[in-house]
Chains A and B, each alone.
Chain A
Amino acid sequence: MQQRGTGQAQAPSQPPAADQGGSAAIDVAHLVKVYKTTRAVDDISFRIARGSITGLLGGNGAGKTTTIAMIMGLVLPTSGSVAVLGAKIPEQRYEVLGRMNFESPYVDMPMRLTVRQNLTIFGRLYAVKHLRERIDQLAADLDLKEFLDRSNGKLSAGQKTRVALAKALINEPDLLLLDEPTASLDPDTADWVRQHLETYRKTHNATILLASHNMLEVERLCDRVIIMKRGKIEDDDSPEGIMARYNRDTLEEVFLDVARGRLREGAPEGTS
């Protein structure tokens, strides 16, 4: 492993994309989720500014998926609050669901329907205007044209991911929640998906929150990284800020340090 310094953590800088005032895209306060005796999410708070890309990092069981599911209103918190685009979740979620969308490896697009049929149905659910043109546009943007009339079950993993992304973008969401968006993709397709997300954020001033195990992806895409461990926020800063504080060259090294508890003693106050 490359080591740039001692590995001793420095004081955290202010998370660059955190929205300290005004209306944040996502506002999470003292969020807790307990499943029977397991504390999956343990009193976490953060605000995510509109137009930013934030990565939620953490090992298996860190609480990333549960956090995203609570932001979407698919899991009810034990305590704490979530607001998305100014609406309280879950109470007011139907006021903003049309402005959000998501992609997750825990859900699939129906396999027996063709790509076009799937996109048509979701387009109608989201009340997309000029749907046929929108599907054609997505097919061109995401390179789906050649298999638009093929059933989803007959697609490769990479093609399925692109279709899932097309579904996630069908309503041009202001907020996009992505759980492992490039899992099981070859490096070329993964890079291509990341480029598309970057472009989408820029052109639509969209907010993106993504959970990922892919550190390179997070380094490249995200303005801000929230590292979770055992349901708590272990660190929260820009990728550069975190790497500098941990004296590491890559987020992967930081991730390993955090996962293995190497820097627990020197961890900055107030970040866990």
Chain B
Amino acid sequence: MSEIVSHQPRGISLQRINAMVLRYWYLLMSSWPRLLELVYWPALQIITWGFLQNYISQASGFFAKAGGTLIGAVILWDILFRGQLGFSISFLEEMWARNLGNLMMSPLKPIEFLLSLMIMSLIRLAIGVIPMTLLALFFFGFNFYAIGLPLIAFFCNLIFTSWSVGVFASGLVLRNGLGAESIVWTLMFAVMPLACIYYPVEVLPSWLQYVAWTLPPTYVFEGMRSLLIDHVFRADLMAWALVINAILFTASFAVFLALLQSAKRNGSLLGGGE
């Protein structure tokens, strides 16, 4: 081997993961409109829903009692949705740039690639959601961080789900090219009605409730309502969500690797177009 190349570990290489994170960081910093966009939509959303919550809490005794459930739900939904987008957009950047062939020919392993996308989803999420929580505090007096330790459980469960969906959607784009890009933008919305973000699970028809309980976010949003309305932290709900997330996460990785193999059989890795 050439003397200018360091010995490379057989397992996962932090150096390669760092290189990819650096690549996405350069990309993010090269465009202020992209940075602004990360803050823009979450800010608009929290302000709109915050005023709505103010209005209905004046008209409804329940919402006056359950202060912050709507704003809390909007923030948690954004963690779920933008966590997945943060993951998938970084992946799409490689497809848009036609850079995937370069990466796949480098020593970068699929697991390292996915880990770097996860780190970037956290960075993008922080840029978008932290200002959102500050706006909620400033305009509506809702201190998201006052949720305390349960927030860590909510966050971890939501981010694991967002990564699972992100890995799955990226696999589909990898296999089918940019023609499948719309999946990235819309897949999470399929989860929305069943995750019971703004209403309790009991609202659903009983047969649909079984489906809803297969989704980890349902446990998180139920847990959030329990905390904000009844001031009870439901550790059991978080534990169930974690178990289902572990299954989803493993399955999404397996599906991604299968789709990668299929893309190699199909010869779509070098093209990546529609």
Contacts and interface: CB of A to CB of B under 8 A. Distances in A.
Interface of A: 33, 35, 40, 65-66, 69, 72-76, 90, 94, 97-102, 104, 106-113, 117, 120-122, 124-130, 134, 151, 167, 171-174, 204
Contacts of A72: 105
Interface in B229-274: 261, 264-267, 269-271
30 contacts: A33-B267, A35-B267, A73-B264, A74-B101, A90-B264, A94-B109, A97-B106, A98-B1, A98-B5, A98-B8, A99-B2, A101-B105, A106-B101, A106-B271, A110-B97, A113-B27, A121-B19, A121-B26, A122-B19, A122-B102, A122-B106, A124-B18, A124-B22, A125-B20, A125-B106, A126-B5, A126-B106, A127-B5, A134-B4, A172-B4
A104 B101 contact: yes
B98 A106 contact: yes
B5 A76 contact: no
Contacts of A171: 2, 4-5
Contacts of B182: none
A171 B261 CA distance: 27
Nearest to A90: B264
6 interchain residue pairs of minimum CB distance: A124-B19, A107-B101, A172-B2, A127-B6, A108-B98, A110-B97
Contacts of A108: 97-99
B25 to A, nearest CB: 10
Contact of A97 (B6, B15, B98, B105): B105
B23 A173 contact: no
Contacts of B269: 69, 74-75
B218 to A, nearest CB: 39
Contacts of B93: 110
Contact of B267 (A66, A117, A122, A126): A66
B267 A75 contact: yes
B58 interface: no
A122 B105 CA distance: 11
Nearest to A151: B30
Q: Which of A66, A73, A90, A112 has the most CB of B within 10 A?
A: A112
A101 B23 CA distance: 19
A146 to B, nearest CB: 20
Given A74-B101, A122-B19, A174-B1, 17 more contacts: A65-B270, A66-B267, A72-B105, A98-B1, A100-B105, A107-B99, A107-B102, A108-B97, A121-B23, A124-B18, A125-B16, A125-B19, A125-B103, A125-B107, A127-B16, A130-B4, A172-B5
B64 interface: no
Contacts of B20: 121, 125
A33 B270 CA distance: 15
A124 B16 contact: yes
Contacts of A174: 1-2
A83 B129 CA distance: 49
Contacts of B27: 110, 112-113
What's the interface size class on B, roughly?
A: 35 or more
Given A72-B105, A74-B104, A97-B105, A109 B5 contact: no
B100 interface: yes
A117 B27 CA distance: 10
A142 to B, nearest CB: 16
A215 to B, nearest CB: 24
B108 interface: yes
Contact of B4 (A40, A101, A121, A129): A129
Interface string B88-118: 0000010001111111111111000000000
Contacts of B99: 107-110
Nearest to B112: A125
A173 to B, nearest CB: 7
B206 interface: no
Contacts of B60: none
Nearest to A98: B107
Contact of B23 (A98, A110, A204): A110
B31 A99 contact: no
